């Protein structure tokens, strides 16, 4: 039997495949198509302290081998999550993780304290990497001092596993990873989307209302893979990899490069069952290669 379980701090995931925040709502949205209990976890849509309307339309655009999005963290706020979402997902046999966002450190702290009160939310993903908001978000994730400040503040008020989501829009992502590890992060997830742009030649205008947006999908996979490998070399905490993972082979490549787990995002828009297909594919690969646990696979890149 192959043991697909992985651990972050004291939190056990039955397998290393999670959904990426912003690609399947709060999990309920794809529950008719996939058994969420088959996944290691569901990282839910970005949540803020107060409701956010998000950016003006158009805010999504298809690109070669990927997509741009500039949704801007549209959500109904933490009160709505606690009252209307949490009761529906709290008893599903998977790890439901809240993606926490703020414009100020004070907002991050208050939101984290609210989430910490929910017994069935075993971890948060602290998003310091969103490229589609005008303040906060990525601004905290692009320098070591600002990343350290927000992680240190949140760590003081949060005693469960803390995953920090990193921006790829930096010169040296390994330095940022080491900085947040030093302030108490239990894991880092990477990469978030790359800042990109689309232009309509006929109208001679930007396609997105925000002009720029976040690029995801297969187009970013080679860069994301490189960054995961670099961060794995630099930190002692588990790395969660993402960026263009479309199938089990992609996921296995990320884990060979050092990822303890992976998140699947853009692929879900094509087929919401892809994450469960990836679980099955990893299991088959490990059985074929006589691997018994994830430690046989993680960081197994032959140099």
Closest CA to 275 of 20, 29, 1: 20
73 is in an annotated binding site: yes
Contact 53, 74 (CB under 8 A): yes
Contact 99, 46 (CB under 8 A): yes
297 is in an annotated binding site: no
46 is in an annotated binding site: yes
49 is in an annotated binding site: no
84 is in an annotated binding site: no
70 is in an annotated binding site: yes
192 is in an annotated binding site: yes
Indicate left, alpha or beta for 276 from its phi (over 0: left) and psi (-120 to 50: alpha). Answer: alpha
266 is in an annotated binding site: yes
258 is in an annotated binding site: no
99 is in an annotated binding site: yes
165 is in an annotated binding site: yes
- Over the chain, what HEC string results? CCECCEEECCEEECCCEEECCCCCCCCHHHCCCCCHHHCCEEECCCECCCCECCCCCCCEEEECCEEEECCCCCECCHHHHHHHHHHHHCCCCCEEEEEECCCCHHHHHHHHHHHHCCCCCCCEEEECCCCCCCCCHHHHHCCHHHHHHHHHHHHHHCCCCEEEECCCCCCCHHHHHHHHHHCCCCEEEECCCEEEECEECCCCEECCCCCEEEEECHHHHHHHHHHHHHHHHHCCCCEEECCCCCCHHHHHHHHHCCEEEEEECCHHHHCCCHHHHHHHHHHHHHHHCCCCEHHHCCCCCCC
152 is in an annotated binding site: no
243 is in an annotated binding site: yes
120 is in an annotated binding site: no
> Is there a catalytic annotation at residue 144?
no
Given the residues 24, 68, 130, 150, the one annotated as active site: 130
61 is in an annotated binding site: no
191 is in an annotated binding site: yes
Q: Which two tokens stand for residue 43?
A: 């990282």
276 is in an annotated binding site: no
Q: Specify binding-site residues for FMN.
A: 21, 45-46, 99, 127, 165, 191, 217, 243-244, 265-266
Active site residues: 130
Q: Which residues are annotated as a binding site for substrate?
A: 45, 69-73, 127, 192-193
Annotated binding site: 21, 45-46, 69-73, 99, 127, 165, 191-193, 217, 243-244, 265-266
């Amino acid at each position: 039997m192959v043991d697909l379980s992985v651990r972050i701090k004291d939190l056990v995931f039955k397998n290393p495949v999670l959904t990426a925040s912003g690609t399947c709502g709060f999990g309920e949205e794809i529950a008719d198509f996939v058994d969420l209990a088959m996944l290691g976890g569901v990282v839910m849509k970005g949540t803020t302290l107060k409701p956010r309307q998000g950016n003006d339309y158009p805010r999504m655009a298809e690109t070669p081998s990927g997509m741009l999005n500039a949704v801007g963290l549209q959500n109904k706020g933490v009160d709505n999550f606690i009252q209307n979402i949490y009761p529906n997902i709290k008893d599903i046999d998977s790890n439901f993780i809240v993606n926490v966002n703020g414009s100020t450190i004070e907002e991050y702290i208050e939101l984290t304290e609210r989430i910490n009160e929910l017994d069935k939310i075993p971890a948060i993903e602290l998003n310091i990497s969103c490229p589609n908001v005008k303040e906060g978000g990525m601004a905290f994730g692009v320098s070591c001092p600002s990343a350290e400040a927000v992680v240190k503040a949140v760590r003081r008020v949060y005693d469960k596993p803390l995953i920090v989501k990193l921006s790829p829009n930096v010169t040296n992502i390994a330095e940022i990873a080491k900085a947040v590890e030093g302030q108490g992060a239990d894991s880092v997830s990477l990469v978030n989307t790359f800042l990109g742009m689309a232009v309509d030649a006929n109208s001679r205008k930007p396609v997105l209302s925000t002009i720029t947006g976040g690029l995801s999908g297969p187009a970013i996979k080679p860069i994301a893979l490189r960054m995961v490998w670099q961060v794995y070399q630099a930190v002692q905490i588990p790395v969660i990899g993402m960026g263009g993972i479309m199938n089990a082979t992609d996921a296995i490549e990320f884990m060979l490069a050092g990822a303890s787990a992976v998140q699947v995002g853009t692929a879900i828009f094509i087929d919401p069952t892809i994450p469960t297909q990836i679980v099955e594919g990893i299991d088959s690969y490990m059985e074929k290669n006589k691997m018994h646990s994830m430690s046989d696979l993680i960081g197994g890149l032959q140099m």
